[in-house]
A and B are shown apart, each in its own frame.
Chain A
């Protein structure tokens, strides 16, 4: 088992003919992901190293049975591509694109929710279920199949922690990058629910950062609904207020959204928070070891 992507994933990639889209799309296929189609308007009939290109996602669904879409198109067209995927009956949409206007995301968020479509991202590295499927830009070589679920707002920080887990002999069920934007399709809580139900997942590592209150809400959710152990890490203790730290959503507004407040909310619910990525991996290893 795994969550969101796996052996049953049939992937259509919007923007496969672009430079980034083809680089990562082909890497995903090399990993073993079943990439069934690419979509670029007016390029239908072409192919990218054997992957057929269609004009629309609907055609990719009809002719190739696509059930998952990855969005790799430029920001100003990305919201429309997500909406196209929803309208075409895709069940899972993973949006990698950064800098999608937040007003567009509000509209798309509700459209996806109302249609029952699972939206991951945008501004995220994607989802990797080691040994099964990789959808996005996560470098798979740092992760092995195993029992630790990871959900994170950050890409490279996830690779750092994944690599330390691997060195400790631990693998992952699924790694989910939820993205660093103010409005993302799936929050920590959505992914925690999936990991809670996933048989393969024994422990969950949650990687948060400054901005918003998704971590605080997750802390309450974990206390009430998650029976599996959770270890957390929060980045941005030294971030000054009012400054955007790389990610659009990583900003302390007034006195809210600080790393300290998030850490305290998690610890108040008995969740252990690592001081560094290294300590976080160590806490996870200890916890799993203690269970075994």
Chain B
């Protein structure tokens, strides 16, 4: 789960990481009120979970009440796409904060390094651009140090990192102290990524986190009630929201072929095979192991609620999942909801004969049974094209 900037900053503040004073607002009036309280100049920042907000016009400085009103009005409701085409995300909230007088911009992060199975701390005095750009411009300017599990990351380790990165001497200690606090926040909140970019040095030589990018491990939310509450508000897409309510693993994509597979790997593979056959998947939906009829009804409800869907493919390889249960679910769903688009089913594995028998007996309209995964992909692409 990615936190919004202000949620990240609130997390930082709880762990003693210096952040500018600010307030969150979800209406223009509230934003203006926040600006009046904080004073001018202040910065009005769109709260969406992607980078590139500044370039998209989602971060503006206000020098007076009129400007605060004008910027908040422009930013709230704005749709922002990420640098890689993610989104669009609608801006529902702005963060209004005290404008810092910036002397220099650094970059700091702690990430989980999956390969090394260790945390990795990174620091650079070239902040304000993304980490790939820093690495490209001047690889030596980005200092990377693994945190040894039996050693941890205290003032001493952080001090070495700050000194290796060439942090100005007068603020080295303060920078190291902030890194240690970020490390504590990382561990205590079950984070998998904390990035501060920029970490700024103000004209008064104060060290402050001017941005906050924080990812929390979803599997650990059970022990972070305060963060778990934030989760629901994040889901923008109506299908993704519906899937979440029904406990399904669903990801919305751009295409027009609705897909259901069982198991994450097989489902991803199904999307790939459909794309190879010339089709465009509308979604990823993993029905999971041991899927029962009820889950299939839910899955079809979510898939058919996406108006772009012009054909549906069910690709099931029954291991623990029994194909007759899947067939029962399909038959049940067709009685409960209007599927309305052609539907290709491939059932293989456990009880596939029984499942295929049930489907044959039910004789559902516009349902096509295919024997192989590749055959099913070709068929659904053909049907979506002619629908």
A277–B269 touching, CB < 8 Å = yes
Q: How long is the Cα–Cα vector from A250 to B190 in the complex, in angstroms?
A: 19
Interface pair A153/B265, CB less than 8 Å apart: yes
Decide if A238 touches B319 in the complex (CB within 8 Å).
Answer: no
> By the criterion CB–CB under 8 Å, are A102 and B266 in contact?
no
Partner of A209 from the list B219, B262, B268 (CB cut-off 8 Å) is B268
Whether B319 and A159, one on each chain, are in contact in the complex, defined by CB atoms closer than 8 angstroms, is yes
Q: Is B22 close to A, CB under 8 A?
A: no
Of the stretches A34-42, A52-60, A198-206, A212-220, the one at the interface is A212-220
- Interface of chain A residues 241 through 275 with chain B (CB within 8 A): 241-250, 254-255, 259, 275
The reply to whether the CB of A197 lies closer than 8 angstroms to some CB of chain B is no
Number of A interface residues at 8 Å Cβ cutoff, please give it.
Answer: 63
> A173–B350 Cα gap in the complex (Å)?
22
CA distance A241 to B82 in the complex (A): 10
Min CB gap B330→A, angstroms: 18
Task: Please provide the chain A residues from 138 to 180 with a CB less than 8 Å away from any CB of chain B in the complex.
Answer: 138-139, 141-142, 152-160, 163, 180
Which of A65-73, A87-95, A104-112, A224-232 contacts its partner? Answer: A104-112
From A163, A209, A238, A243, contact of B317 by CB (8 A): A163
Does the CB pair B265–A102 fall under 8 Å?
Answer: no
Option from A153, A217, A237 in Cβ contact (under 8 Å) with B115: A217
Q: Which of B119, B268, B374 contacts A239 (CB 8 A)?
A: B268
Q: Does A117 belong to the interface (CB within 8 Å)? A: no
Q: Mark out the residues of chain B between 252 and 306 whose CB falls within 8 Å of any chain A CB in the assembled complex.
A: 253, 261-269, 271-276, 281, 284, 286, 289
How far is the CB of B357 from the nearest CB of chain A, in Å?
A: 19
A116 interface residue per 8 A CB criterion: no
Interface centre among B219, B261, B348 (most CB of A within 10 A): B219
The closest CB in chain A to the CB of B286 belongs to: A246
Instruction: Evaluate contact between A238 and B264: CB separation under 8 angstroms.
Output: no
Q: Are B272 and A237 in contact (CB under 8 A)?
A: yes
User: A275–B263 Cα gap in the complex (Å)?
Assistant: 19
Nearest residue (CB) in A for B377 is A276
Evaluate contact between B265 and A183: CB separation under 8 angstroms.
no
For the residues of B in contact with A, the DSSP-based class is mixed
> Is there an interface contact between B187 and A235, defined as CB atoms closer than 8 Å?
no
The residue on B at minimum CB distance from A253 is B193
Min CB distance, B171 to chain A, in Å? Answer: 29
Closest to A101 in B: B220
Q: Is the interface of A mostly helix, strand, loop or mixed?
A: loop
> B41 → chain A, closest Cβ, in Å?
32
A212 to chain B: which residues have CB within 8 Å? Answer: 114-115
Kindly list chain A residues whose C-beta atoms are within 8 Å of the C-beta of B70. Answer: none
Q: Are B114 and A182 in contact (CB under 8 A)?
A: yes
What distance in Å separates the Cβ of B224 from its nearest Cβ neighbour in chain A?
A: 10
Whole-angstrom CA separation of A101 from B224 in the bound complex: 12
Docked Cα-Cα span, A215 to B144, in Å, equals 23
Q: B268 touches which one: A109, A110, A250 (CB < 8 A)? A: A250
The reply to whether A103 and B276 contact each other, CB–CB distance below 8 Å, is no
Q: Does B249 contact A (CB under 8 A)?
A: yes
The residues of A that contact B124 with a CB separation of less than 8 Å are: none
Query: Given that A103-B220, A156-B266, A246-B264 are known contacts, is A139 also in contact with B251, CB under 8 Å in the complex?
Result: no
Closest residue of A by beta carbon distance from B240: A243
B117 at interface by CB-CB < 8 Å: yes
Interface residues of B in 298-347 (CB under 8 A from A): 317-321
| Nearest chain B CB to A82 CB, angstrom units | 15
Q: Are B86 and A238 in contact (CB under 8 A)?
A: no
Known A157-B263, A235-B269; contact A241-B217, beta-carbon cutoff 8 A: no
B84 CB within 8 Å of chain A:
yes
| A248–B82 alpha-carbon span in the complex (Å) | 22
**Most chain-A Cβ atoms within 10 A of its Cβ — which of B119, B190, B284, B289?**
B284
Asked if B269 and A102 make an inter-chain contact with CB atoms under 8 angstroms apart, the answer reads no
- Contact between B319 and A156 (Cβ–Cβ < 8 Å)? yes
The CA-CA distance from A101 to B284 in the complex, in Å, is 24
Mark each residue of chain B from 173 to 215: 1 if its CB lies under 8 Å from any CB of chain A, else 0: 0000000000000010010100000000000000000000000
Q: Is A207 an interface residue (CB 8 A)?
A: yes
Which of the residues A160, A238, A239 comes within 8 Å of B266, measured between beta carbons? A160
> Which 5 residue pairs across A and B have the least CB separation, nearest first?
A154-B265, A246-B264, A156-B263, A157-B265, A101-B220
- Given A139-B320, A157-B266, A249-B114, 4 other A-B contacts at CB below 8 A? A125-B319, A137-B289, A156-B289, A246-B267
Interchain residue pairs with CB less than 8 A apart (24): A102-B190, A102-B192, A102-B220, A103-B217, A106-B112, A109-B117, A139-B349, A155-B263, A156-B321, A157-B266, A157-B269, A160-B266, A163-B348, A163-B349, A207-B265, A233-B269, A235-B266, A235-B272, A236-B271, A238-B275, A239-B284, A248-B219, A255-B84, A276-B269
A residues touching B (Cβ–Cβ < 8 Å)?
75-76, 99-104, 106-107, 109-110, 125, 137-139, 141-142, 152-160, 163, 180, 182-183, 207, 209-214, 217, 233, 235-250, 254-255, 259, 275-278
Seen from chain B, the residues whose Cβ lies within 8 Å of a Cβ on chain A are 82, 84, 86, 112, 114-115, 117-119, 132, 149-150, 187, 190, 192, 217-220, 222-223, 249, 251, 253, 261-269, 271-276, 281, 284, 286, 289, 317-321, 348-350, 372-374
